[in-house]
Structure 1
Amino acid sequence: MESEAPHAEPSASTGGDAGEARVTAIPLLLHIGYHKTGSTWLQRALFDNAERGFTTDTGEPRHALVRDFVLPDALAYDPARVREKFAAARADALAKGATLVLSHERLSGYPSSGGHDRRMIADRLRETFPDARILIVIREQRALIRSMYSQHITDGGTGTLARFLNRPEPGLGRKPWFDPEVYAFDRLIAYYRGLFGAERILALPFELLAREPQLFVDRLAAFCGRPSQPLGPVSRENDRRPLVMQAVQRRLNALFYDNELSPGALLHIPRFAKRFGRLRGLFDACSPRFIERRMDARLVKEIAAYAGDRFRESNGRTSRMIGIDLGDYGYAMPH
């Protein structure tokens, strides 16, 4: 599909005096994830920061994007209606010289269900906003699987890591399940490039954000047509829950949390996951460190055995596509 020409975009000038170089900012950025790649930090520190020239103000909470782009029936999606819904927010951002950012990890699919709808979502985004630019943040797969499995439990899952990774009755495919192909990053990047044009897609590794946040932010700013700004101190929050806490919740989900990941709980406690999450401080203080280390080592070993060489070739293609040596960040690369 032929992409829109960059010069056809409406733009907001962020330059100063007439004699100075003027920066042309893009009007719309779609940040699609992946899950567990620093999205919350990006949203809070950058995308909700008017001083950096971004805004996420659409008049609705962020999770409404799932309702707009993910939930409509495959034969009932109306891109014109959704486009019109965001017209006022886009116009307001443009008048302020800001870039409107629609940011939600669910737009790259949900890993626990194998990202089965990620192509459909990509098509909807292209039909609705053909002039948008796309930010995709990836992460080394072994670390990503570990983090996503923990999130799966937080979201209501009940299975062991082995059950999470391995579909029962794999030859039938009756319902979506985790599929390692969701982390073949080159496929999603290539598909978005085909929809929007390569110049409209920016894919960066999460590890760059973790190691060199200023460089990450500078590359994003340049992609959005914005000047570089000093980032200042970056607070690094540890959002990893104790493994003992996750082991307890995994079992309680089956009893008290009737949801998409654990249907049929014996007794449904409304907002069980959030209520249980309030015990984080208790588990941080009381979980035995030697048990945590032993559980962590077992997870790392099991995930490494599962990953094996399966991502090497994809990582090599991804590395060439984005112009970053992912081997420098610990990704498995072709021999």
Structure 2
Amino acid sequence: MKNKKIILHCGSPKTGSTSLQYYLYDEGLLLRKLDVLVVKRLVQKNSTDPIFKHLLDSRKPNAPKSATTEARSRIETLFESEDISTLLISYESILGEPFEYGNPAFFPKARQAVRALKDIFDGYDIQIHYVTRDYTSFIGSYYVQHIRRGGDCSLKDFVRAIDPDSLSWIRIVNLLRNTFGAENVHVHEYRDFLSNPGRITAAILGGLIPEDRVSGKIGGYRKNRSVGGFPLYLTRISNRILVKGLSLPPQTAGRITRQRVLKPLSRFIPGDKPRIETAMSEFLAKRYHEDMQILSGQ
């Protein structure tokens, strides 16, 4: 019987996950020859594996035990039906969203999600790879995501709704390390992924594919481009009209304005990215530097 290993790339949103996933999907046949199955998600319509729904259901408040049972059953099915020894799951939102409307805490559902993951992955040889990003650009990038989803607040109001004292990659990483063992949780920085995606991706794959082979391909997978302040401003105003004026759900409004406002405007009016106020930006930079020093020394 093969030793069943799981590689979990779980974080976090806005840290190059989409680029990594597209690379992994394109190299699926090669990895399959190396006894690794990449579980597909959001490549094209109706191609998402059921495991992601089970993982999402398991972290919901008062989730029934059947959610964990279904997740474990799907994992076993993948191992047995594909006859592989390693399952690679890449899901950047597995610990929940970093910011939620009406809740100032950073990753408010993380503890509950990790508790669910412990039950789902119990008994498997698991290696977890978590990618962090400096708080300033992370918040700015996630703010753009908020607008894409139909949000209409300004960056200043978005930042004001966050509890700065709760911003801590240390808390998130330690939740994973205390649950799965420090030796099984590996932390990578987004800036390192940007500067050398081949090295980080090769590390996540455990060296199965040489770094130079990865580097030659992954640089062309960037799917989410930067958006300037003016297109964002017009998009959030459009969202407000659709949501508050026409009573459309935010997600519906976001889909409309992404296609009809944000994408065409960004093509012709890139503009400057919206910037967090200097004092807050300096505070966030100092916090991130200190946090990463602590994490690297643990």
TM-score by length of 1: 0.71
Correspondence for 2:103: none
Q: 1:248 to 1:139 in 2, by over 3 A?
A: same
Q: Which structure exhibits the higher relative contact order, with contacts defined as CA atoms closer than 8 Å and separated by 6 or more residues? A: 2
Matches within 5 A, 1:201-240: 201-222=185-206, 226-228=208-210, 230-231=213-214, 232-233=216-217, 234-235=219-220, 237=222, 239-240=225-226
Deviations 1:150-204 (A, max 9, x none): 111112222112221223xxxxxxxxxx344564112211111111111211111
CA contact 2:54–2:70 (8 Å) conserved in 1? no
CA distance in 1, matches of 2:155, 2:127: 36
Correspondence for 1:256: 242
Shift of 1:43: 0.9
Correspondence for 2:297: 320
Correspondence for 1:274: 255
In structure 2, runs of 5+ residues without a counterpart are: 101-105
Q: 1:156 to 1:285 in 2, by over 3 A?
A: closer
| 2:231 pairs with 1:245 | yes
Correspondence for 1:146: 140
Shift of 1:265: 5.8
| 2:173 pairs with 1:189 | yes
Q: 1:246 to 1:68 in 2, by over 3 A?
A: same
Correspondence for 1:56: 39
The structure number with the bigger radius of gyration is 1
Correspondence for 1:127: 119
CA distance in 2, matches of 1:134, 1:251: 40
Deviations 1:24-70 (A, max 9, x none): xx631222211100110111102563213441149962662564333
CA contact 2:143–2:158 (8 Å) conserved in 1? yes
Residue-pair matches, total: 273
CA contact 1:46–1:54 (8 Å) conserved in 2? no
Secondary structure of the 1:102 match is strand
Shift of 1:121: 0.3
CA distance in 1, matches of 2:208, 2:252: 41
Correspondence for 1:108: 95
CA contact 1:65–1:104 (8 Å) conserved in 2? no
Secondary structure of the 1:235 match is helix
Aligned-CA RMSD value: 2.9
**From 266, 269, 279, the counterpart of 1:284:** 266
TM-score by length of 2: 0.79
| 2:24 pairs with 1:39 | no
Q: 1:80 to 1:236 in 2, by over 3 A?
A: closer
In structure 1, runs of 5+ residues without a counterpart are: 1-8, 12-25, 168-177, 258-263, 322-335
Shift of 1:215: 1.4
Larger proportion of helix: 2
CA distance in 1, matches of 2:20, 2:196: 14
Deviations 1:125-159 (A, max 9, x none): 01111223212111112111111111111122221
Specify the code of the residue in structure 2 equivalent to 1:68. D
Percent sequence identity is 20
Correspondence for 2:76: 87
Q: 1:143 to 1:126 in 2, by over 3 A?
A: same
CA distance in 2, matches of 1:155, 1:106: 15
CA contact 1:48–1:54 (8 Å) conserved in 2? no
